[in-house]
Structure 1
Amino acid sequence: MTLSRQAKAAPGPGYKWIALSNTTLGTLMATINSSIVLIALPAIFNGIGINPLAPEETPYFIWLLLGYMIITATLVVSLGRISDMFGRVKLYNLGFAVFTVGSILLFITPGSGNMAAVEMIIFRLVQAVGASFLFANSTAILTDAFPIQQRGMALGINQISAVLGSIIGLILGGLLAAINWRMVFLVSVPFGVFGTIWAYLQLRETSQSGGKQHIDWAGNITFFLGLTILLIGATYGIEPYGNDPMGWTNPFVIVTMALGVLLLVAFIVIELRVPDPMFRLSLFKNRLFSYGNLSQFLSSLARGGLQFILIIWLQGIWLPLHGYSYEDTPLWAGIYMLPLMLGFIIMGPISGMLSDRFGARIFATVGMLLQVVGFILLTLLPPNFDYIWFALILVLMGVGQGLFASPNAAMIMNSVPANQRGAASGMRSTFMNAANVISMTMFFSIVTAGLSASLPDALSKGLMQNSIAAATAHQIAHLPPIAALFAAFLGYNPMQTLLTPSILHQLPAANQAELLGKSFFPNTIAGPFMFGLNIAFYVSAVACLIAALACLVKGKPGDLGADFENERESIALKEARHIAESLEDTLQPHQAGHSSEKPSGKAAR
């Protein structure tokens, strides 16, 4: 074992707060940039001269939207293991620098048209590589820096930055895109430069690196290729294929997903055989680690597509019906999603501190059960809901996620040896990020299936009622419904996408105004959209319920982290018993007084 140069300067007692503040900045930056392009895509594509809804341009739209998430999902385990070997702080610093370089390249993207789109995708992937270093190491650095009795609090604050980043990115993207699309990427540069220098000067290696170990090239390559190919197949599954509204029958999708699964099976076989595996699968023998990651995966599977699909609900139906122009809906959708962040901010650090004192299982379980309630309540809302109820449900779900996130993270990280924390943090991030991508495709697939079943008939009738010939209305109504969803998401009136100028020019002015107004498309799509959306909500509720059951599983005696968890829960039971006894002692004199009065009362009578 060798110590890095930075480990020679021993950190002081305040070092843990430096580690927390710097890793929180890194996580905040990485998550802001995972969502900042969602709202800014129309301005970005207008800036480089591309129509993202044109069939030949759709791959650019898909890769700018999901490429960042795919890379961060596939790289973090490999980078976490390499960091365990060569130093977490060293590679975390490298991540900050790579992320900043990617942001600068995106800001100065030259050219226009398809070439500019390709360049931006490449630069976005560079940015994602830097973010993967940050994701892979931030949790491990915090676990190294904080004592076990404070990790829940530290991880809770770090988790808040992740949720804050995803919401702030939506709003920031809308505000900056209104000024200039390049500002969307420039905003990260000063923070990236500052974070890189700060991390280099202040962070210290507090654990020994395993420099004598060998890199598991076969495991790294099969895992990266397998998960990447699998997620690419899932992503293209939501694209239309032939006459089908989705691409799940596309041979490319079938082959890529099958190849991805085969490579991941090969990865498992390799990991069981090599002396220095990328990830020690034996860690899954620890119940807290395995069930903690299972609950994390199911939670992300339930919630990953939630924010995305709620934004489409707001932009495609609710906001237009409330008078907002389609051009303004992306920004306002981000603003109306703020209650989700509010609930998490309130409960995230509190649950972390409470789990440090009383144990993680009860808080993680209650958090998942609140998510179940939230998803069920969402199914009860009408398409044009009263916002106060929508906001309260979002707060409830934010509180639930806040109760779950930091206790779950602390439980996972407390259950692994110190020399495996980088790989464990990477695996945790992989479960979360991969589930987010799968969740988005799942939500889209379910909603699109609902639309394809009933939207054509509803749209065809509505078009014919507005003077469009039956044959033309039937043809328009059977266009891929995913195009209408993407249009609403990007801030375009979907009817302008579905109706060609030649069709519109043949219509009376009143019919044009009706079709291109703010109520025709929302009212037409509302029923079919809600049918599929409610099914997705029920699926998510079931996933959260299973996650809650996974949170209840106790570690086996001797499992790392199990003794600490049991000790915290014992303290909680003792304190609860003490409170109950105190209440009983308080009530007994009062009850005794009443019992002594009763005979005198009877005697008086």
Structure 2
Amino acid sequence: MLMATVNASIVIISLPAIFNGVHLDPLARGNVGYLLWMLMGYMLVTAVLVVSLGRLGDIYGKVRIYNAGFAVFTGASVALALTPFEGESGVLWLIGWRLVQGVGGAMLMANSTAIITDAFPPRRRGTALGVNQVAGLAGTFIGLVLGGILSAWHWQAIFWVSVVVGAAGTWWSYRNLRECSPRRADVRIDWAGNLTFAAGLTILLASVTYGIQPYHGHTEGWTNPVVAGGLILGALLLAAFCVIETRVRDPMFNLRLFRIQAFWAGNLATLLNAIARGGLQFMLIIWLQGIWLPLHGYDFAETPLWAGIYLLPLTLGFVVAGPLSGYLSDRYGARLFATGGLLVMAASFIGLLLVPVDFGYPGFAALLAINGIGSGLFSAPNTTAVMNSVPAAERGAASGIRATFQNTGMVLSIGVFFSLLVAGLSRSLPVTLRTELVTLDVPTPAADAVAAVPPVELMFSAFLGVNPLGTLLNAAGVLDTLPTVTVHALTDRTFLPRLLSGPFHDGLVVVFTLAAALSVAAAVVSLLRGGVYIHDEDQ
């Protein structure tokens, strides 16, 4: 779990080094799409495949699928570390092998929780799963720091880490792990359900990814007929999947499990929580790398490492609260801790809502720690309650269902939050940017051309450590005609972050308000889970 989640986040923080390493211009038309697929492709694959791979674990053995996941993950990491191309070919190579890596990650995610549930008695599962959840979330933020350190050395080093850890993990798991529960050899693979679910969720989440890219003069792609059609087709395929699952003998996605109160409430709370906080990491990294760190004197080349360091309080809060809440939930049940954790997270989002873009770090760090504590209080007890509520023969599928809700929520979160953020930027940034450029005597046609660049491209350029104004004004043929003082002012590392700060804060207000509301809604759902419930066969 640690390795799978380290890999998911190490790329986010290392994207500036990766784009520089393969020599891809983030301002070139269409390259924002590559960036988004590098960010979201891995999560999309894991969201789509975890249920199928969890069901395969029930049929063929959870440990067997888990071990195969390590091998697939490691092989894809080798291919990534040996990227032979540059430019668009290099990025396509990276995206393709990241998708393969996501298959291995899905094998690990789908079965690790079920393996732990099999191995521990009910009254110790909260503690065990608390450690597992800490490994998962801690890996997310360890990846941020590790990616910052390694990308400052060489961008390919971030993939060699996965090779080394993956090789060691593959050897260890094949040598030590043994099956603790019987296989279901009599179960047939639900091909119709697998195909409709994979196609429906893939089309739906891919449409969300393309929806946040510019389209034909629009700042976002929600007016793109392909995006709208994809959303409708994906929803129809998922509806067809639900019908299929009620009619096959051995469904991939056992809908009868949703008759169990603890199961449906826990999974719905997981989905709402994932949407509330899934995009948080992305927003915080953009905030730090694209705005706050440059305004505080950090060179763009240094921002990945320091962004990871400044986000450490989030990890520390989770590491402290996760195992403790898991242990206490074994004794007192999940409802108090899971619900309380969601309310703590809602309070932290409200606090972040009140923080200015150019904040003082101590207060910001305290809010990050509170958010991490809330997440730790929720995660292990909720997961334990979900896994305790299902029969042993369904644990692989149940673990996959839980992971699907979580990963789907994260992809949707990035899509929704990012759309809201870009909408906020689009309302005020072009006017602000044009006014500032004209004030500095940039010719009006050139100022108009720069202001017409989609805000998402300007923001991503700043995030990737590229000063877009110098590039754009040079392309317009006016940079050499301006006085030296004006050129220095326009290309200074604080110029664009200062312009972005106001419109960016407008977007953050909407994002954190929605996150707080979703956290409260998840807390209400968590209250509906009922008391302690352990499936009869485990009593």
Q: Fold conserved (TM > 0.5)?
A: yes
- Indicate if the aligned counterparts of 1:89 and 1:203 stay in contact, CA closer than 8 A: yes
Name the residue aligned to 2:94. Answer: 120
- Indicate if the aligned counterparts of 1:226 and 1:263 stay in contact, CA closer than 8 A: yes
Specify the SS of the correspondent of 2:496: helix
Once residues 199 and 378 of structure 1 are traced to their aligned partners in structure 2, the CA distance between those partners, rounded to angstroms, is: 41
Once residues 76 and 411 of structure 1 are traced to their aligned partners in structure 2, the CA distance between those partners, rounded to angstroms, is: 19
Specify the SS of the correspondent of 1:499: helix
Once residues 498 and 306 of structure 1 are traced to their aligned partners in structure 2, the CA distance between those partners, rounded to angstroms, is: 30
Flag structure 1 segments of 5+ consecutive residues without an equivalent: 1-26, 568-605
Please state how far the C-alpha of 1:57 moved relative to its aligned partner: 3.0
- Greater mean alpha carbon deviation, residues 471-480 or residues 199-208: 471-480
Once residues 83 and 218 of structure 1 are traced to their aligned partners in structure 2, the CA distance between those partners, rounded to angstroms, is: 18
Decide whether aligned partners of structure 1 residues 265 and 520 sit closer, same or farther in structure 2, where only a CA change above 3 A counts: same
Cα deviation code 1:542-568 (max 9, x no counterpart) = 1000100111114489x655999xx9x
* 1:534 aligned onto 2:509: yes
* 1:545 aligned onto 2:517: no
- Greater mean alpha carbon deviation, residues 43-52 or residues 532-541: 43-52
Name the residue aligned to 1:187. Answer: 161
Once residues 85 and 523 of structure 2 are traced to their aligned partners in structure 1, the CA distance between those partners, rounded to angstroms, is: 50
Name the residue aligned to 2:483. Answer: 508
Specify the SS of the correspondent of 2:274: helix
Q: Equivalent residues in 2 for 1:548-563 (5 A)?
A: 548-555=523-530, 560-561=534-535
Once residues 496 and 252 of structure 1 are traced to their aligned partners in structure 2, the CA distance between those partners, rounded to angstroms, is: 34
Decide whether aligned partners of structure 1 residues 330 and 556 sit closer, same or farther in structure 2, where only a CA change above 3 A counts: closer
Once residues 531 and 61 of structure 1 are traced to their aligned partners in structure 2, the CA distance between those partners, rounded to angstroms, is: 24
Q: Which amino acid aligns with 1:428?
A: R
Please state how far the C-alpha of 1:141 moved relative to its aligned partner: 0.3
Cα deviation code 1:55-92 (max 9, x no counterpart) = 13333322222111110110000000111111001110
Decide whether aligned partners of structure 1 residues 296 and 471 sit closer, same or farther in structure 2, where only a CA change above 3 A counts: same
Decide whether aligned partners of structure 1 residues 287 and 331 sit closer, same or farther in structure 2, where only a CA change above 3 A counts: same
The equivalent position to 1:407 in structure 2, one of 368, 371, 381, is 381
Give the fraction of aligned pairs with identical amino acids, expressed as a percent.
52
Q: Which amino acid aligns with 2:491?
A: L
- Indicate if the aligned counterparts of 1:77 and 1:423 stay in contact, CA closer than 8 A: yes
Name the residue aligned to 1:334. Answer: 308
Please state how far the C-alpha of 1:253 moved relative to its aligned partner: 0.6
Greater Rg over alpha carbons, structure: 1
Name the residue aligned to 1:481. Answer: 455
| Larger RCO (CA within 8 A; separation ≥ 6) | 2
- Indicate if the aligned counterparts of 1:84 and 1:210 stay in contact, CA closer than 8 A: yes
- Indicate if the aligned counterparts of 1:52 and 1:60 stay in contact, CA closer than 8 A: no
Name the residue aligned to 1:7. Answer: none
Specify the SS of the correspondent of 1:328: helix
The equivalent position to 2:124 in structure 1, one of 140, 144, 150, is 150
Specify the SS of the correspondent of 2:148: helix
- Indicate if the aligned counterparts of 1:288 and 1:562 stay in contact, CA closer than 8 A: no
* 1:212 aligned onto 2:183: no
The equivalent position to 1:137 in structure 2, one of 92, 107, 111, is 111
The equivalent position to 1:354 in structure 2, one of 313, 320, 328, is 328
Name the residue aligned to 2:271. Answer: 297
* 1:73 aligned onto 2:47: yes
Please state how far the C-alpha of 1:315 moved relative to its aligned partner: 1.6
Name the residue aligned to 1:574. Answer: none
Name the residue aligned to 1:446. Answer: 420
Q: Which amino acid aligns with 1:521?
A: L
- Indicate if the aligned counterparts of 1:316 and 1:489 stay in contact, CA closer than 8 A: yes
- Indicate if the aligned counterparts of 1:289 and 1:416 stay in contact, CA closer than 8 A: yes
Once residues 475 and 116 of structure 1 are traced to their aligned partners in structure 2, the CA distance between those partners, rounded to angstroms, is: 30
Q: Which amino acid aligns with 1:104?
A: V
Please state how far the C-alpha of 1:498 moved relative to its aligned partner: 4.1
The equivalent position to 1:246 in structure 2, one of 220, 243, 248, is 220
- Greater mean alpha carbon deviation, residues 152-161 or residues 107-116: 107-116
Please state how far the C-alpha of 1:250 moved relative to its aligned partner: 0.5
The equivalent position to 2:258 in structure 1, one of 281, 284, 297, is 284
Q: Which amino acid aligns with 2:355?
A: L
Q: Equivalent residues in 2 for 1:361-400 (5 A)?
A: 361-400=335-374
Please state how far the C-alpha of 1:200 moved relative to its aligned partner: 1.1
Cα deviation code 1:241-260 (max 9, x no counterpart) = 11210000001111111111
Decide whether aligned partners of structure 1 residues 102 and 459 sit closer, same or farther in structure 2, where only a CA change above 3 A counts: same
Once residues 335 and 560 of structure 1 are traced to their aligned partners in structure 2, the CA distance between those partners, rounded to angstroms, is: 40
Once residues 490 and 29 of structure 2 are traced to their aligned partners in structure 1, the CA distance between those partners, rounded to angstroms, is: 23
Once residues 500 and 531 of structure 2 are traced to their aligned partners in structure 1, the CA distance between those partners, rounded to angstroms, is: 51
The equivalent position to 2:230 in structure 1, one of 249, 256, 275, is 256
The equivalent position to 2:75 in structure 1, one of 72, 79, 101, is 101
The equivalent position to 2:64 in structure 1, one of 90, 106, 127, is 90
- Greater mean alpha carbon deviation, residues 547-556 or residues 446-455: 547-556
Please state how far the C-alpha of 1:170 moved relative to its aligned partner: 1.5
Once residues 304 and 165 of structure 2 are traced to their aligned partners in structure 1, the CA distance between those partners, rounded to angstroms, is: 25
Once residues 128 and 444 of structure 1 are traced to their aligned partners in structure 2, the CA distance between those partners, rounded to angstroms, is: 22
Specify the SS of the correspondent of 1:313: helix
Once residues 554 and 94 of structure 1 are traced to their aligned partners in structure 2, the CA distance between those partners, rounded to angstroms, is: 35
Cα deviation code 1:171-193 (max 9, x no counterpart) = 21222122222211111112111
Specify the SS of the correspondent of 2:486: helix
- Indicate if the aligned counterparts of 1:74 and 1:228 stay in contact, CA closer than 8 A: yes
Q: Equivalent residues in 2 for 1:260-279 (5 A)?
A: 260-279=234-253
Q: Which amino acid aligns with 2:363?
A: W
- Indicate if the aligned counterparts of 1:327 and 1:492 stay in contact, CA closer than 8 A: no
Specify the SS of the correspondent of 1:309: helix
Decide whether aligned partners of structure 1 residues 264 and 376 sit closer, same or farther in structure 2, where only a CA change above 3 A counts: same
Please state how far the C-alpha of 1:239 moved relative to its aligned partner: 0.4
Name the residue aligned to 1:603. Answer: none
Please state how far the C-alpha of 1:328 moved relative to its aligned partner: 1.4
Please state how far the C-alpha of 1:114 moved relative to its aligned partner: 2.6
The equivalent position to 1:522 in structure 2, one of 490, 493, 497, is 497
Once residues 531 and 341 of structure 2 are traced to their aligned partners in structure 1, the CA distance between those partners, rounded to angstroms, is: 23
- Indicate if the aligned counterparts of 1:556 and 1:562 stay in contact, CA closer than 8 A: no
Please state how far the C-alpha of 1:503 moved relative to its aligned partner: 2.5
Please state how far the C-alpha of 1:342 moved relative to its aligned partner: 0.9
Once residues 470 and 135 of structure 2 are traced to their aligned partners in structure 1, the CA distance between those partners, rounded to angstroms, is: 38
Decide whether aligned partners of structure 1 residues 563 and 87 sit closer, same or farther in structure 2, where only a CA change above 3 A counts: closer
Name the residue aligned to 1:223. Answer: 197
Q: Equivalent residues in 2 for 1:422-433 (5 A)?
A: 422-433=396-407
